[in-house]
Structure 1
Amino acid sequence: MRSRLSMTYGETGRASRAVVVTAALLVALLALCVASLCLGSVSIPAGDILAALSGTGGTSSTSAEIIWSIRLPRLLEAALLGGALALSGYLLQTFFNNPIADPFILGVSSGAKFVLALVMVVLLGASQTMSSSMMVVAAFAGSLLTIGFVLVIARRVGSMSMLIVAGVMVGYICSAATNFIIAFADDQSIVNLHNWSQGSFSGSNWDDVDITAAVVLSAAIATFAISKPLSAFQLGEAYAQSVGVNVQRFRVVLVFLASLLSASVAAFAGPISFVGIAVPHLIRSAIKSSKPLRVIPACFVGGAVFCVGCDLIARMAFAPTELTLSSVTAFFGAPVVIALMLRKRAR
């Protein structure tokens, strides 16, 4: 009886902790959003931002244009794509049962970037434009191809460490092929493709935000909806099958959602490193639980906080020079990965 009570209190405590952590992340996200809208080459007071967003006037047309056309779309893209990266990393870590699996490490982001760059160059060479939806489709195809190749390797190698090494090598190959395409492209507008390939939220517009919100939020809701079978899957495929989960179909769903989320990031922001590894690990450590029902919401908000904060640092640290986003995310994310590996070795 006493053990049942302690288990009940323990579950209640972990659930409360997850709520508190998620609420704290939402407060941090709100503060970062205000800072991102206020700070830049032109500083805008918080009161003017509220006036511009509410449409009540009291702010200059220039400030309103900066907020609505530049900073707000970029902010929303950073929040949505940061959450997508964190969720994609969480799904891949669950799928491969490896805490350092994520779209960047396994080469999924690089594969999406390669196919997207290839399609973009072909269309530009034919004097055609590429819509936002077409970018997502091309990146999604690249993500699926790369994950499929990694799965083939996973069946042939028994060691997860070798799988990670293979994923890194696939990423290098795709990145080299992408650079080759960019270097020999004739169109001068490929310079924009090169800048995109470095990872950045700059240049985001409302069309991108609309497509991103539709894809990412739909995938995030679907991920939350499979929390229960995902919890069973974490305990092993045999256990999941014993409680009625169609393991083969569920694995396809996991790959599909992880690819869709990572493809959205690759299409609109380019490759961004370490977010998919660091955020899920930090969230699990903060809430002291790995239950998907608790981790998924906190993971999405945590990814948004991480990317909005890193984007703000990239813009403001050496203004007017803007750093590449991956350099900032690597600066904060790499120590988390090192600590994770050291803790695993100690255990």
Structure 2
Amino acid sequence: MKYADAGLSVRLTLVCLPLAGLLAAALITGLVVGSSSLPLHDVLRALAQSDACDPTVLAIVWKLRLPRSLLAALAGGALSLSGLVFQTLVRNPLADPYILGVSGGAALGVVGGMLLGLPTFLGAGPLAFFGAMAAFGVAVTLSLRDGHVATPSLVLSGVMVNAFCSAAIMFFLSMTRDHTLHATLVWLMGDTSSATLGSLPIPALCVVAGAMLVFALSQTMNLLLLGDEAAANLGVRVRLVQGVLVTTTATMTGI
């Protein structure tokens, strides 16, 4: 068992180190490339907040590009981790927040709430969370067979719910004014222009906490891959674990 654990640790290290390097390279590229490209040495000076750094470069890096790059990284990490969880829960490699309608429900919650003038405490996050949970709940309800979720039906139901959410978003957008339409479309495409360093702690906290929780439940998720009945026979509280994982992924996707 010790040799197996050591081998797993080595494999994880060999996989994670190159991926961490690619992430760092992508972040540096995001700081260098833009409407006005910056020399790499100037970017590194700005990150170190060197006295020799040009104040303009310092402002571009810290106030514009760094928050946007970090937010994009957090969004990508949250969505990929959510996809891993959904693939485990439904035991289907095609599952992800988009196919199961979670992402579409989150977007519909925000867009619908914004255009209908609903109050948003703590920003748009709560609307996105409730939209994501509602969409996944509808997909699960449609896929129930004799009190159990049929995995193939869940994927098909998710695709249908996602298509409905997309149609509803288009309906809302068709009733908006020109400036609102453009801003909403850019936001739906993944706009990060409003990101600031002050706005990052909440999504960072949610993603890090969600990742830690998923990692803590990784062995339990491996047992879930054997099937609900087999996992329950091995001592897993299946419904509780599934509820925790779905709530966690919906939160990360919504944020």
Q: Do they fold alike, i.e. is TM over 0.5?
A: yes
For the Cα contact (< 8 Å) 2:136–2:158, is it kept in 1?
no
Quote the RMSD (CA, aligned, Å).
Answer: 2.2
Q: What is the rounded CA distance, in whole Å, between the counterparts of 2:30 and 2:179 in structure 1?
A: 31
Pairing 1:262–2:253 present: yes
For each residue in 1:283-306, what CA deviation from the matched residue of structure 2 results, as whole angstroms up to 9, or x when unmatched? xxxxxxxxxxxxxxxxxxxxxxxx
Shift in alpha-carbon separation, 1:207–1:179, aligned structure 2, 3 A: farther
Aligned to 2:210: 219
AA aligned to 1:191 is: H
Query: How far apart are residue 169 of structure 1 and its match?
Result: 1.8
Query: How far apart are residue 178 of structure 1 and its match?
Result: 1.0
Q: What is the rounded CA distance, in whole Å, between the counterparts of 1:58 and 1:34 in structure 2?
A: 20
Query: How far apart are residue 148 of structure 1 and its match?
Result: 0.5
Name which structure has the greater RCO, CA cutoff 8 Å, separation 6+.
1
For 1:36, which of 14, 25, 30 is the aligned residue?
A: 30
AA aligned to 1:180 is: F
Shift in alpha-carbon separation, 1:161–1:12, aligned structure 2, 3 A: same
* Aligned 1:148-159 pairs, distance under 5 A: 148-156=137-145
Shift in alpha-carbon separation, 1:136–1:220, aligned structure 2, 3 A: same
Pairing 1:236–2:227 present: yes
Q: What is the rounded CA distance, in whole Å, between the counterparts of 1:185 and 1:158 in structure 2?
A: 38
For the Cα contact (< 8 Å) 2:140–2:149, is it kept in 1?
no
Pairing 1:146–2:135 present: yes
Please identify, of 226-235 and 214-223, the stretch whose mean Cα deviation from structure 2 is larger.
Answer: 226-235
What SS does the corresponding residue of 1:189 show, helix, strand or coil? helix
For the Cα contact (< 8 Å) 2:99–2:155, is it kept in 1?
yes
Query: How far apart are residue 110 of structure 1 and its match?
Result: 0.8
Shift in alpha-carbon separation, 1:18–1:134, aligned structure 2, 3 A: same
* Aligned 1:174-185 pairs, distance under 5 A: 174-185=165-176
Q: What is the rounded CA distance, in whole Å, between the counterparts of 1:57 and 1:190 in structure 2?
A: 43
Query: How far apart are residue 255 of structure 1 and its match?
Result: 1.0
Name structure 1 gaps, 5 residues minimum.
1-6, 265-347
Q: What is the rounded CA distance, in whole Å, between the counterparts of 2:151 and 2:209 in structure 1?
A: 31
Query: How far apart are residue 183 of structure 1 and its match?
Result: 1.8
Q: What is the rounded CA distance, in whole Å, between the counterparts of 2:191 and 2:73 in structure 1?
A: 13
Q: Tell me the number of residue pairs that the alignment of Structure 1 and Structure 2 aligns.
A: 253
Please identify, of 172-181 and 222-231, the stretch whose mean Cα deviation from structure 2 is larger.
Answer: 222-231
Aligned to 1:135: 124
For each residue in 1:5-25, what CA deviation from the matched residue of structure 2 results, as whole angstroms up to 9, or x when unmatched? xx7656543431221110111
* Aligned 1:56-75 pairs, distance under 5 A: 56-75=50-69
AA aligned to 2:101 is: G
* Aligned 1:49-128 pairs, distance under 5 A: 49-123=43-117
Q: What is the rounded CA distance, in whole Å, between the counterparts of 2:73 and 2:186 in structure 1?
A: 20
For each residue in 1:73-100, what CA deviation from the matched residue of structure 2 results, as whole angstroms up to 9, or x when unmatched? 1110111111111110011111111110
